[in-house]
Amino acid sequence: MIDKAQFVPKIEGNEISSFKTTWSAPSNIALVKYWGKKELQIPCNPSISFTLDQCRTTTSVQFKSRTAHDHSSLAVQYDGKPAPSFEPKVKTFIDRIRPYAPYLNEYHLQIDTVNSFPHSSGIASSASAMAALAAAIMDLEKQIYPSLTAEDQIKKCSFLARLGSGSAARSVEGPLVLWGEHTATPDSSDLFGVRWTKAADVFKTYRDTILLVDKGQKEVSSTVGHNLMHNHPFAENRFAQAKAHYQDLLAILENGEINGFTDLVEREALSLHAMMLTSSPSYILMHSNTIQIIQKVRNFRKTTGLQLTFTLDAGANVHLLYPEHEAEQICQFIESDLRQYCQDNELISDRVGTGLKKT
């Protein structure tokens, strides 16, 4: 068990009166899903994700020493316009991380943020948003405590991001990230994500085409969704299944077994949805178009032998995963047979990426 106390600064820091920094963080797509948590973002099972490349949040933070005249501690802009509706969520995040970043008490934060993907695309932005903000705060921490190592900076960034949104712990590095303790990976932790580099090369360049079946707001917020796992009749079995999948997937990734990957990743996505179908209240988050896409993908794989697979987040959109060397034929199929199921024919072409970038 790793102690949270390691993340509390213990030495006297430099005085920095003003500092501006900009970070871009990617979204990620879980292969083994995090669904169910204990207090303060401790996952009920370990998860594994691909870090994405193109779906990103870029956030600038201007930190300025607070004066007696400052009425508030922060102001948020989205895409260059004031966004007061984002402020409560950011305030909650800052309050949660304050014990680990007490220096924030001294600053007013002017936060400017923008997503590379359309705001209303049904793509969750909390992972990339929290990771980008955590990265900016950790850059300030590095100015205050210059002895902080790059490794500890990254680790604490994931630790802080997790306190904003669990899956954000997995948006700091790439191409694959583990989050949640498992005996098979002694360096894994419930408190932060760790980069996993042992995957066969084929998985380091995987593609993800996101079919935007529903661009609206998610029907079930992740907070509500995770809570559905409390007293869920299948919860314990689901956590055991995810733990077994975690270990199986690591072997599959390491050995480059694309068939095994396809089978496991699809069952994971459908297990997540099965939990929502059988919770109380129950939710059907797939649309008829989601099902049509799934059936077409399975048919295509059967008839062509090409390794196209899907995963889902907690909504109707479909992430199509496939190896780079088959991209040409698969992209043709997506255009001719699948794009029509997307709202306004919109999709996002993405691929596996490497994590945070300072801009």
Q: Which residues would be at the binding site for ligand DP6 (CB under 6 A)?
A: 30, 33-35, 41, 47, 124, 126, 165-167, 222-223, 226, 272, 313-314
The smaller minimum CB distance to ligand DP6, of residues 330 and 355, is found at 355
Least separation in angstroms between CB 266 and ligand DP6? 15
Minimum CB distance to ligand DP6, residue 21 (Å): 24
Which residue, 33 or 156, has its beta carbon nearer to ligand DP6? 33
Burial of 75 (0-12, 13-18, 19+ CB in 10 A): middle
CB of 41 to ligand DP6, least distance (A): 5
CB of 22 vs ligand DP6, minimal distance in Å: 23
Q: Cα–Cα distance between 284 and 302 in angstroms, integer?
A: 27
Amino acid, single-letter form, for residue 193: G
Q: How many CB atoms lie within 10 A of CB 251?
A: 11
Distance CA 354, CA 10 (A): 31
In the complex with ligand DP6, the residue whose CB is nearer, 130 or 327, is 130
Instruction: Count Cβ atoms below 10 Å from residue 50 Cβ, excluding itself.
Output: 30
Angle, in degrees to the nearest 10, between helices 150-164 and 87-97 = 130
**Closer residue to ligand DP6 in complex, CB, 94/144:** 94
Smallest separation, CB 117 to ligand DP6 (Å): 15
Q: Which strands form 318-322's sheet, in the order they lie side by side?
A: 309-312, 318-322, 207-211, 347-351
- When the beta carbons of 41 and 343 are compared against ligand DP6, the nearer one is 41
